[in-house]
Structure 1
């Protein structure tokens, strides 16, 4: 599985590129705009092809889910600890974030998947994750109910290592949006995953 997280601040032609990535096989798009108001968020969603709404994940303004038929919601670690997800469990898919394998192993089965970061040194947050050991800790995973999504510093060059380490998917952020051609980066990542899966199936 391959996911893309939006940049915090809108960039030129962002929704055009989102539609292109969706058309090209993006599994899920996480809309993470922490400073964006409800009206702006609604305008953003309206610029995305409605056929892709089932693949959108909201990080804020969850009430817009009913307006657009979106049933995927992501909760920060803080919000998870405060139980803010409880009313969303039924009839929705929920995800969250963790920063170590011990916390991941304690997640209950109501979570579809969890981001674990930083997998590699971050591209969008300079200096973050330079001494990360998350990838080395994956062998200690014992949670079979919740999918594990790697996040942090993932590029076309290292994405295959994510799956070799045992993750179920990869989330892209800085590598995509800080490049002059986000669609090309996404396509290269997707191709690398497909090639990795082919190699695995032929063994």
Structure 2
């Protein structure tokens, strides 16, 4: 099962070092999500991440970065609902219902379905899905290896995500909550937590 990390929406000083360390520990894909922030900050971050990992990064904004930095691809969502007209390459997409997955999955390399559990990074963003609904969607072939679970993913529910038949899990709040940019002297706890998630996902 794929393990995807979604970045925090803001930048912080140690971010490039943590992302590089995550790739070194076997991160499959990084989703670079920095809504509302100027492209120059994203460009700066990408220049600090070794080029050998750029082909495993998907950007949610500033789609020209895909070609400029030879990234893996782009991600479509409500803020950026369409790919450039001349775009060719990897595209993923955010979905917020099982029906949306059913209609969109074939058009993309993979899709996110969220929130599977109550969201950690967005307060009040609660899951609308029951376990029975998710198992039914899997039995009907809607949830499969092209569908990535997002929202509230923790070590406590990662095995259930596997059981539901998802092709991967995307983590955000549960990982980044292990690092306080204002007070932490190192980022060992983030890396150790990621290693545990990675081991459980395999």
Shift in alpha-carbon separation, 1:193–1:88, aligned structure 2, 3 A: farther
Residues 1:94 and 2:94 aligned together: no
Q: Which residue of 2 aligns with 1:197?
A: none
Gap change, CA 1:134 and 1:18, over 3 Å in 2: farther
Determine if contact 2:61/2:80 at 8 Å carries over to the other structure.
Answer: no
CA distance in 1 between counterparts of 2:6 and 2:67 reads 21
2:199 aligned residue (180, 187, 191): 191
User: Where does the alignment leave 5 or more consecutive residues of structure 2 unmatched?
Assistant: 180-188
**Alpha-carbon deviation of 1:89?**
5.3
CA distance in 1, matches of 2:161, 2:86: 29
CA distance in 1, matches of 2:11, 2:201: 28
**Which of 83, 86, 100 is 1:85 aligned to?**
83
Give the equivalent residue in structure 2 for 1:154: 153
**Offset at residue 147 of structure 1 (A):** 0.5
Contact (CA 8 Å) 1:100, 1:134: kept in 2 or not? Answer: no
2:34 touches 2:61 (CA, 8 Å); kept in 1? Answer: yes
Aligned to 2:33: 32
CA contact (8 A) 2:5 2:172 kept: yes
Structure 1 residue 127: Cα displacement: 2.4
Using a 3 Å threshold, how does the CA distance of structure 1 residues 145 and 190 change in structure 2: closer, same or farther? Answer: closer
For residue 86 of structure 1, report the CA deviation from its aligned partner.
Answer: 5.9
Note the C-alpha offset of 1:108.
Answer: 5.0
Contact 2:105 2:146 in 1 (8 A): no
**24-33 or 100-109: bigger deviation:** 100-109
SS in 1 for 2:85: helix
Residue 27 of structure 1: how far off its partner (Å): 0.5
CA RMSD of aligned residues (A): 2.0
Q: Matched residues in 2 for 1:53 and 1:67: separation? A: 11
Q: Deviations over 1:78-103 (max 9, x none)?
A: 644xxx2263653x110011111111
Aligned equivalents of 1:114 and 1:150: distance in 2?
9
- Cα distance in 1, alignment partners of residues 105 and 16 from structure 2: 34
Give the drift of 1:111.
Answer: 0.1
Structure 1 partner of 2:133: 137
Partner residue in 2 for 1:103:
100
Aligned length: 189
| Aligned match of 2:166 | 167
Aligned twin of 2:177: 178
For the pair 1:124 / 2:125, whether they are aligned, the reply is: no
State the match for 1:199 in structure 2: none
TM-score of the pair, normalised by structure 1: 0.85
Q: Name the SS for the 2:49 alignment partner.
A: coil
What is aligned with 1:201?
none
Change (3 A) 1:17 1:31: same
